[in-house]
A and B are shown apart, each in its own frame.
Chain A
Amino acid sequence: MSDDLLHKYDAWLSEEAPAALVLQEWLVPAEGPEGVVFPATFAASEDKTFKGGYNIDSFPDGSNVCLIDSVGSQANRMEPLFLRDQYAGLVPQIVVQAGQKKINLLEAGHRSADAVVRCSKLGPQLTEAFRAWLDEADAAPLARLAPTSLVFGVWDSRGTKAKIPRLLASVVRAFNVRPLTRSSQYIPPVDYVDQGLLPEAEGKAQSDKYAERGFVHVPASAKPGGVEARGGIRRDATLSLVGMRALRAKDPDQTKALQRYVLGLALTAFSHPAVGELRQGCLLVGDPQRPAILALVHGSGHRDPVQLGHQDALDFATAAARAFGVGESMTVAFSTDLAKTDLEQEKGGKPAEKGTQPTEKGKGRKGRAAAKAAGDGAGEVS
Chain B
Amino acid sequence: MRRYLALSVTFLLPVYHGRRSEDEAEWPPSPLRLFQALVCSEKRRATPAEFCATVRPALEWLTRSAPVIDAPATTPGQHFRLSVPNNDMDVIARAHAAGQLPSREPAQLRTMKTVRPTHLRGSTRVNFLWELPAEDTDPAHGHARTLAAAARHVVALGWGIDLVAGDGRVVSEREVKRLSGERWEPSALPGGQRARLPTSTTLAELEARHQAFLTPVSEDGALTQAPPLAAFREVWYRRDTDPAIRPAAAFQFLDPQAERLRSFPSRHVVRVAGMMRHAVAEVARTARRPADWIATFVLGHGPDGRATGPADLPRFAFLPLPTIDPRGVVSAVRRILVAEPPGGAGRETTWVRRFLSGQELVDEETGRPVAMLGPLPASDGVVRQYLGLQQGASTWSTVTPVILPGYDDRSAAKTERLLRRAIEQAGYSEALARGADLEWRHVGFRPGLDLASRYAGPAYLAGFPRCHVRLTWRDAAGQPVAMQGPVCLGAGRYCGLGLFAAERDAL
B92 interface residue (CB < 8 Å to A): yes
B93 touches A240 (CB 8 A): no
A49→B33 CA distance, assembly (Å): 28
By secondary structure, the B interface counts as mixed
B90 touches A119 (CB 8 A): yes
A60→B75 CA distance, assembly (Å): 8
Tell me whether A242 and B154 are in contact in the complex, defined as CB-CB below 8 angstroms, given that A119-B90, A160-B214, A339-B90 are known contacts.
yes
A115 touches B163 (CB 8 A): no
From B78, B91, B152, A49 is in contact (CB under 8 Å) with B78
A362→B214 CA distance, assembly (Å): 17
By secondary structure, the A interface counts as loop
Q: List 25 A-B contacts (CB under 8 A).
A: A19-B152, A44-B80, A49-B78, A50-B78, A57-B117, A60-B75, A98-B92, A98-B97, A103-B89, A108-B89, A115-B91, A134-B214, A169-B12, A240-B163, A246-B153, A297-B12, A299-B152, A300-B167, A334-B93, A348-B221, A349-B223, A369-B111, A370-B111, A375-B159, A380-B159
B84 touches A377 (CB 8 A): yes
A309 interface residue (CB < 8 Å to B): no
Distance (Å) between the CB of B364 and the closest chain A CB? 49
Give the residue name and chain of the A residue nearest to B41 (CB): A246
Distance (Å) between the CB of A171 and the closest chain B CB? 7
Q: Which residues of chain A come closer than 8 Å to B40, judged between CB atoms?
A: 381
A299 touches B167 (CB 8 A): yes
Central interface residue in A137, A334, A342, by most chain B CB within 10 Å: A334
Q: Which B positions have Cβ atoms within 8 angstroms of A?
A: 8, 10, 12-13, 33, 36-37, 40-41, 44-45, 75, 77-99, 106, 111-114, 117, 119, 121, 124-125, 151-168, 213-217, 219, 221-223, 225, 479-480
Distance (Å) between the CB of A301 and the closest chain B CB? 4
A242 touches B155 (CB 8 A): yes
A336 touches B97 (CB 8 A): yes
Q: Which residues of chain A come closer than 8 Å to B225, judged between CB atoms?
A: 360
> What mask results when residues 45 to 74 of chain A are scored 1 for a CB within 8 Å of chain B, else 0?
110011010011101100001000011100
Distance (Å) between the CB of B489 and the closest chain A CB? 25
A149→B114 CA distance, assembly (Å): 24
A179→B294 CA distance, assembly (Å): 61
In the complex, how many residues of chain A place their beta carbon closer than 8 angstroms to a beta carbon of chain B? 89
B112 touches A373 (CB 8 A): yes
Tell me whether A246 and B78 are in contact in the complex, defined as CB-CB below 8 angstroms, given that A116-B90, A166-B160, A299-B165 are known contacts.
no
From A109, A115, A376, A378, B90 is in contact (CB under 8 Å) with A115
A127 interface residue (CB < 8 Å to B): no
Distance (Å) between the CB of A120 and the closest chain B CB? 8
Q: Which residues of chain A come closer than 8 Å to B92, judged between CB atoms?
A: 98, 101, 116
Distance (Å) between the CB of A215 and the closest chain B CB? 27
A322 interface residue (CB < 8 Å to B): no
Q: Which A positions have Cβ atoms within 8 angstroms of B?
A: 18-20, 22, 42-46, 49-50, 52, 55-57, 59-60, 65, 70-72, 96, 98-101, 103, 108-110, 113-116, 118-119, 134, 137, 153, 157-158, 160-161, 165-167, 169, 171, 236, 238, 240, 242-243, 246, 297-301, 333-336, 339, 342, 348-352, 358-362, 365, 368-370, 372-373, 375-382
Give the residue name and chain of the B residue nearest to A239 (CB): B163
A161→B99 CA distance, assembly (Å): 32
B75 touches A57 (CB 8 A): yes
A381 touches B158 (CB 8 A): yes
From A50, A72, A299, B82 is in contact (CB under 8 Å) with A72
From B44, B88, B97, B165, A334 is in contact (CB under 8 Å) with B97
A308→B68 CA distance, assembly (Å): 39
Q: Which residues of chain A come closer than 8 Å to B85, judged between CB atoms?
A: 109-110, 372, 377
A50 touches B79 (CB 8 A): yes
A370→B151 CA distance, assembly (Å): 31
Give the residue name and chain of the A residue nearest to B86 (CB): A369
Distance (Å) between the CB of B55 and the closest chain A CB? 15
B154 touches A101 (CB 8 A): no
A49 touches B79 (CB 8 A): yes
Q: Which residues of chain B come closer than 8 Å to A372, judged between CB atoms?
A: 84-87, 111
Distance (Å) between the CB of A50 and the closest chain B CB? 5
Q: Which residues of chain B come closer than 8 Å to A333, judged between CB atoms?
A: 97
Q: Which residues of chain B come closer than 8 Å to A349, judged between CB atoms?
A: 217, 221-223
Q: Which residues of chain B come closer than 8 Å to A99, judged between CB atoms?
A: 95-99
Give the residue name and chain of the B residue nearest to A245 (CB): B153
Distance (Å) between the CB of B120 and the closest chain A CB? 11
A376 touches B161 (CB 8 A): yes
Distance (Å) between the CB of A273 and the closest chain B CB? 20
Q: Which residues of chain B come closer than 8 Å to A301, judged between CB atoms?
A: 8, 10, 124-125, 165, 167
A153 touches B119 (CB 8 A): no
B93 touches A339 (CB 8 A): yes
A110 touches B161 (CB 8 A): no
